[in-house]
Structure 1
């Protein structure tokens, strides 16, 4: 199955952001959605609360008009962000009285967030998780064969 263009572009942006230390769950232009949308933060107006799945008036208008941003609808975008924040250890929607995780830019936490987002993006496009590794450990009818070289 061919990877949809929107997914391929999102994966490249997220991969680069992670490895260039430009992924930050507390910054609307550097979070998962911010990176997918070319480091713009205008997407934050699609909902009234960061991490909420409820569209704002602006978000509803864009959704009803069928608008897409780098291939994703407003509902898909705010869901992507919710998945990312929760996997990074945040309680959503973000607000001053909810505790936030210690050191939210820790690489392990960011990897958890990235992993969850990639799984969700793949689910949106109806393809197997590209970060899934279970296929390489199948022992009945293995899909992959590896040559082990001992030196």
Structure 2
């Protein structure tokens, strides 16, 4: 499977951030999108609520002009960030925000990154590289055959 340059670049940046302990969902320059955009926080001005997939006026202008940031449209960036926060255990609503107890815990960050990589695959119309169901289905079939 051939991945796009934007996918490869994003995954490499996220991999580096994860292993260098510079991934932080509470910092817009070190979150998933912040790292994809080279630790720039300008993307946060494209929505009014952190974690929302709804563009504000500025975001809509950029989206309608066809602007891309390291290959991603404003709406795609918001989807990536929402996936990261959801994977990290954040629950965001209009009036309520649940945060994980330790947002820098490696297992929490890994869960967030898994969601991000799945979202990146969707955006590029790729098979989800994080989907292990085919592996488990194969193992399950083998174990069933052994039982019979």
TM-score normalised by structure 1 residue count: 0.85
Note the C-alpha offset of 1:130.
2.4
Aligned counterparts of 1:59 and 1:78: Cα–Cα separation in 2 = 10
- Map 1:96-135 onto structure 2 (within 5 A): 97-135=96-134
Residue 39 of structure 1 pairs with residue 25 of structure 2: no
Question: Post-superposition shift, 1:134?
Answer: 4.1
Flag the structure with higher helix content.
2
Task: Tell me the residue number matched to 2:72.
Answer: 72
- In 2, the alpha carbon distance for the partners of 1:71 and 1:92 equals 26
**For 2:98 and 2:87, how far apart are their aligned partners in 1?**
14
**Pairing 1:2-151 to 2, within 5 Å after superposition:** 2-93=2-93, 97-136=96-135, 138=138
- Point out where structure 1 has 5 or more consecutive residues left out of the alignment: 140-151
Partner Cα distance (2:12, 2:94) in 1: 27
Q: Is the 8 A contact 1:67 1:73 kept in 2?
A: yes
| Cα deviation code 1:16-69 (max 9, x no counterpart) | 111111110000000000000000011000101100111111100000000000
CA offsets, 1:77-104, max 9 Å, x none?
0111011101101112587x52311011
Answer yes or no: is the 8 Å Cα contact 2:92–2:98 preserved in 1.
Answer: no
Q: CA deviation at 1:107?
A: 0.4
**Secondary structure at the residue paired with 1:59?**
helix
Considering only aligned residues, what root-mean-square deviation do their CA atoms show, in Å?
Answer: 2.1
**Structure 2: runs of 5+ lacking an equivalent:** 140-148
Alignment partners' CA distance in 2, 1:56 and 1:41: 16
Task: Kindly tell me the number of residue pairs found equivalent between the two proteins.
Answer: 141
